[in-house]
Amino acid sequence: MKIGMIGLGIMGKPMAKNILKAGFTDLQVSDLNKDAVAEVVAAGAVASDNKTIGETCDVVMTMLPNSPHVKAVMLGESGVVGYMKPGSCFIDMSSINPVASKEIAAALAEKGIEMLDAPVSGGEPKAIDGTLSFMVGGKQEVFDKFKPLLDSMGASVVRCGEVGAGNTTKLANQIIVACNIQAVAEALTMAQKAGVEPQLVFEAIRGGLAGSTVMEAKAPMMMEGNDKPGFKIDLHIKDLNNALDCAHSFGAPVPMTAAVQEILQWLHNNGCGQNDHSAIAKYYQALTGIEIGR
């Protein structure tokens, strides 16, 4: 199987390396960041360009920031779709609006090209260790064919429905993650302001109903003051904008999503957009003067 991957950012670069580690050695990669390309080439890939990837690969994969980037790469002037062969497949692992996924799939279908939308959850740590969760939309037979490829990067690969279902599921995931991080920051700030040590609160509740993967990953970062991004605030803003757009188009109420989006936007406006989304704690610090755990 000839594989092409476009997008070697925080997530895409380790994902490409895991494809190679799993034995999928015929991998071509493309990115504007030549240092990232060189690093993946050193791991066994071949540096390429979008045109060559489209012409020669059986499956083209993208890991890009948002809908406009995916549309530009695939459908824009000199877009990859124009070079792909009928019977080939496009797998978009980016987190984008499901409406855009369906639009891209329709354009591909006209050329006899299949598509899966397969966004991921887990952030940089799970991208590195190959334990991402994939939420996939597309035909069952296409999913079955390419599941082993997705398995090389993830611990969980679940088909959620037809094209668009993957990104709809990812938006649901991002709502839950954002609201959970906000709740952790709010709760630990409250505890510290009341004179109780946040670390002890964390240890006491982590094994109960309040415990979660989000708490395990983000509470220690808050208490250490560690803002190194596994997932940036600006990217979460993008995802929640897509969630709000999607919800509004279907008439779904999302008041909690809107509230946490306002907090994230405040952080962006105050120079924290490139911080990890656990920096939601900084919003409460600005209100209370409390630095969690410090």
Give the Cα separation of 50 and 81 in Å (integer): 10
Q: Is 111 an active-site residue?
A: no
Catalytic-role residue among 147, 170, 238, 282: 170
Give the Cα separation of 5 and 22 in Å (integer): 15
Give the Cα separation of 116 and 89 in Å (integer): 8
Closest C-alpha among 107, 121, 119 to residue 71 = 107
Q: What amino acid positions are annotated as catalytic residues?
A: 170
